[in-house]
Structure 1
Amino acid sequence: MSAIAPKRAYLSLSEFKRVVRGLGFARAIDLKKWLSSPGRPALIPKYPHYVYRNDGWTSYLESMGREPRSRRIRLSPEALSSA
């Protein structure tokens, strides 16, 4: 008997995002709580950042359809004063 657990079958990253976006989570922490809950379907990984790391995983926010804060446009003080 092998000590390594067999690889589980999960949804593809695009299907995972479709499901997560359909649930309408407002915050990443809410998504993470749901992923750790007993109500999570077996086809949804508890740790998607690990499962999808080689498939283009970016962030929990991106999976929810939101832009990470670091990618938002920041206005300079000069731009604010001229507005």
Structure 2
Amino acid sequence: MEEEKLFSARTEFVNRVSTSVIKDLLDKLLQEKVVNSGEMESVRAMASRAEQARELIDMVLKKGQLACKILIDAFCELDPFLSEFLQLQ
């Protein structure tokens, strides 16, 4: 369920999420042990905001339902307007 919601919002997430929200999401995902420090640094090292967003969402999608739920919950907290627009709430 969470994977499908996240996947359906992928394109708009990549197009609209801000760099600061990506950084905050990475911090939250590291804290929750969804990503490790190497994965976090790999995303942060990417050249563009869109590349970072795409890599972040694809990385979490590969990790299953719980990882997707943690990302969605963190995103709803960090950017309630965009998460509602993307119908993730």
Q: What TM-score comes out, normalization by structure 1 length?
A: 0.28
Q: What TM-score comes out, normalization by structure 2 length?
A: 0.27
Q: More relative contact order in 1 or in 2 (CA 8 Å, sep 6+)? A: 2
Larger radius of gyration: 1
